[in-house]
Amino acid sequence: MSICGAITTRDVLRHSATIVREFGAVAYLRCCVAIVLRRRTTFLNCVFQRAA
C-alpha cells in the first residue's frame, strides 16, 4: 500500500486496525477529525501533527 497524498474516508475506515496498531489511536483520531471537518490533509500530517 502506498500513500498518494490526501487521506480519504475509505482509506481510514478500511485500514483502521493497521493505523491504530502502527501509529496509535491518537493518529487515527486525528484522521477521523480531518474527515469530519472535511479538511484536506495528508496522512503524514495527521500522524506527525504537533500540539500548538
pLDDT tens readout for residues 1-52 = 445 566 778 888 899 999 999 999 999 998 888 888 888 788 888 888 765 4
For 51, residues 6+ apart whose C-beta sits below 8 A from its C-beta are none
Rounded alpha-carbon distances, angstroms, from residue 38 to 9, 18, 21: 10, 22, 24
For 49, residues 6+ apart whose C-beta sits below 8 A from its C-beta are 30
In a domain, 52, yes or no: no
Total of domains in the chain: 1
Residue 16's pLDDT is 94
Residue 51's pLDDT is 54
For 6, residues 6+ apart whose C-beta sits below 8 A from its C-beta are 40, 41, 42
Q: Domain of 21?
A: 9-47
In a domain, 14, yes or no: yes
